[in-house]
Chains A and B, each alone.
Chain A
Amino acid sequence: MNDLTEDKARSAIAAILRYGSLISTLVMALGLILVLLRGPVSFGPGGHLVSFRTLFPRVTHLDPATIAEFGLLLLLVTPIFRIIVAGIAFGLEREYKYVLISLGVLAVVCGSIGLAMR
């Protein structure tokens, strides 16, 4: 891989990580502030949002606890996007061995999401 493309790939990966964690943190913080402003909400398990049918209606109705939970999910998917970006970078550089490896890692993580959604 020549240096210029390697640098671009690294910047892209770093950007995903940086903005992914920043945005998710901001969304979580927003959700938490709203929770506190709107009155007491009790602790309890999450896990409702694995079904996307319930996610978007609750987020767009600005249900604060759901916003915080959505931010959390954004945090959890950031590493997944990192794998995808890295895989694409490897592909652009024709390092197909690493494209395959990235697909393998992605498969395991998606498999775990599949297990989670059962």
Chain B
Amino acid sequence: MNKIEAIIKPFKLDEVKEALAEIGIQGMTVSEVKGFGRQKGQTEVFRGSEYTVDFVPKIKLEIVVADEAVDRVVKAIQETAKTGKIGDGKIFVIPISRAMRIRTAETGEAAV
């Protein structure tokens, strides 16, 4: 099992969710985060002056899937979340040692 963690632009969330539903992914966890990479924040305007916002709002998606699904999921996220402009985000894959479904106490791949 692997966890796929993706940091994406907030307005891309619906598209990514649709794309994942199309390849059969049935669940995910989403959180609102702030961050920057080489984008280095953005410049905004207020009352006639510019100021820099260091941390830009992003969405973090976390999905735990069986090993054979990882490539499909990563590809789907990368293709839909991409805009071609700086700040598109990153995808990380982290191995998961255990998983359990709380309602039924199932473990392993049956739990994801």
Is B truly associated with A? no
